[in-house]
Amino acid sequence: MQRQAAPNIQATIPDKPYQIGKITVVPTSPVIGAEIRGVDISQDLSAETAFAITQVWHTHLVLLFRGQDLTPEQHIAFSAYFGTPQSPNRTSFTPMTEKYPEIIEVMNVDMDQKRIEYSLSNAEAFWHTDMSYKSIPPLGSALYSREVPPSGGNTCVSNMYLAYEDMPEAFLEEIMDKSAVHDASRNSAGRLRPGFEDEQDPSKTPGPHHPLVRIHPETGRKALFLGRRPYSYIPGLSVEDSEDLLDRLWAHATQDKYAWCHQWDVGDLLLWDNRCAMHRRDPFDIKHRRVMHRTQIAGNRPY
Ligand code: OGA
Ligand code: MN
């Protein structure tokens, strides 16, 4: 099978700060993430700046913008530099999401300031890709923090190009040309979506089939594309073999060496590329408020 040689991580991803025009790029780790300084993303961007940000995004997969003061309109307008903001399937509505269908509120408090258990609430959110239960998942999401707890609730991201390139040849052979079913019946918190049965047999999981290795349409690079672990299934295998292969694949892909974690301040915006990065969240104390706004940007059918 043709693939890139095992990467020299230090050589392929810059790990020292650098400058592009007025933008300063400060890598947050040698494997993934860069902070962009010198841009107020609430304002219109020049074509030059938008292009530079997109190039840096492709290099580092996840961008961090600190100290931003955004209205929902500005958050959506910034997202639109990278594609078309998309509204998700909703199981709950708030006045905010009724007014701005492109925004999801990821939070643990409701409008009456009571602690809530829907949305992602305060639990740990295991490694995943956003909305891969759709046949055309978003290309990325922009998560903006409005209120954060004093500790916990960090968001981690990991580089799925590296996870792919780092796979031993024999392991790659095992997954070559295989796809997985991405569960459409449950949300990230594991709750059933309306209209779905609680099907426990993974070989009967409803949802789209996506290739385990996808090609990023902009960079041309291959990345592991796993979605979420629960109720995933590899068609063509027995449930036992599928579970075994998926367990090994997830153990490989979720190693710390591909990841970096962000500790939030209010006003941070994290833009991740959903095609080549996964993300997860640490739990936090439910007695503290955590309110985030997320946009998602329409993508392509994975191939
Ligand atoms: C999300 C998500 C993690 C977080 O919004 O898609 O996974 O840190 N959020 O809230
Ligand atoms: Mn997510």
- pLDDT, position 10: 43
Tokens of 72: 């929902």
* Interacting residues of 200 by C-beta distance below 8 A, sequence separation 6+: none
Candidates 292, 293, 296, 297: which one to mutate for ligand 1, based on the most atoms within 8 Å of Cβ?
292
Range(s) of the domain holding residue 256: 17-303
User: What does residue 51 show for φ and ψ, rounded to 5 degrees?
Assistant: -65, -45
Nearest Cα residue to atom 6 of ligand 1 = 130
Ligand 2 centre distance from Cα of residue 279 (Å): 6
Binding site membership of 143 for ligand 1 (Cβ less than 6 Å): yes
* Interacting residues of 93 by C-beta distance below 8 A, sequence separation 6+: none
Whether 200 is covered by a domain: the verdict is yes
The pLDDT averaged over each successive group of 10 residues in the chain (303 residues) is 46 88 96 98 97 97 98 98 89 79 88 73 90 96 97 97 97 97 89 91 97 98 97 98 98 98 98 98 92 96 98
- Report the DSSP pairing between strands 291-297 and 140-147: antiparallel
- pLDDT, position 5: 44
Question: DSSP string spanning 195-239?
Answer: T------GGG--S-EEESEEE-TTT--EEE----STT-B-TTS-H
**CA-derived radius of gyration, the chain:** 19
CATH number at residue 248: 3.60.130.10
- pLDDT, position 16: 95
Distance of alpha carbon 106 from alpha carbon 119, whole angstroms? 6
Whether 1 is covered by a domain: the verdict is no
Whether 5 is covered by a domain: the verdict is no
**Which residues are placed with Cβ below 5 angstroms of ligand 2, an ion?**
130
- pLDDT, position 9: 52
pTM of the model: 0.94
Distance of alpha carbon 152 from alpha carbon 288, whole angstroms? 10
Binding site membership of 132 for ligand 1 (Cβ less than 6 Å): no
Ligand 1 centre distance from Cα of residue 30 (Å): 22
Whether 8 is covered by a domain: the verdict is no
* 129 close to 227: Cβ distance less than 8 angstroms: yes
Whether 234 is covered by a domain: the verdict is yes
Whether 43 is covered by a domain: the verdict is yes
Ligand 2 centre distance from Cα of residue 283 (Å): 14
Give how many domains the chain has, as a whole number: 1
Write the CA distances from 243 to 234, 239, 248, 266, 280, integer angstroms. 8, 6, 9, 40, 21
